[in-house]
């Protein structure tokens, strides 16, 4: 069984996470959108075709 203090801590964690509310709390939504944006930038950079190497020679 949980003590009163443990129960309050658990209830606070559930409330902060937005569990059961049907919506993501604003601070967590902001973190999620920031992570998605950062991931988008990283993927764009990773998938961008690289420029051909400059060798100083003209192509045949």
Q: pLDDT tens across 4-46, in order?
A: 999 999 998 888 877 777 888 888 889 999 999 999 999 999 9
Residue 32: inside a domain: yes
In the numeric block, the tokens 């020679």 are attached to: 57
Q: Tell me the C-alpha to C-alpha distance, in Å, between residue 32 and each of 4, 18, 37.
A: 32, 13, 9
| CA separation for the pair 19, 30 (Å, rounded) | 17
Prediction pTM value: 0.51
* Alpha helix positions (H), the chain: 4-17, 26-47
Whether residue 27 lies inside any domain: the answer is: yes
Q: Are 24 and 18 in contact (CB under 8 A)?
A: yes
Residue 50 has pLDDT above 60, yes or no: yes
Measured CA to CA, the distance from residue 20 to residue 24 in angstroms comes to 10
Kindly state whether residue 53 falls inside one of the protein's structural domains: no
Domain tally for the chain? Answer: 1
């Amino acid at each position: 069984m949980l003590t009163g203090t443990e129960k309050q801590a658990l209830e606070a964690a559930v409330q902060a996470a937005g569990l059961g509310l049907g919506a993501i709390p604003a601070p967590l939504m902001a973190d999620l959108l920031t992570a998605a944006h950062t991931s988008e930038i990283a993927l764009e950079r990773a998938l961008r075709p690289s420029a051909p190497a400059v060798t100083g020679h003209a192509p045949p």
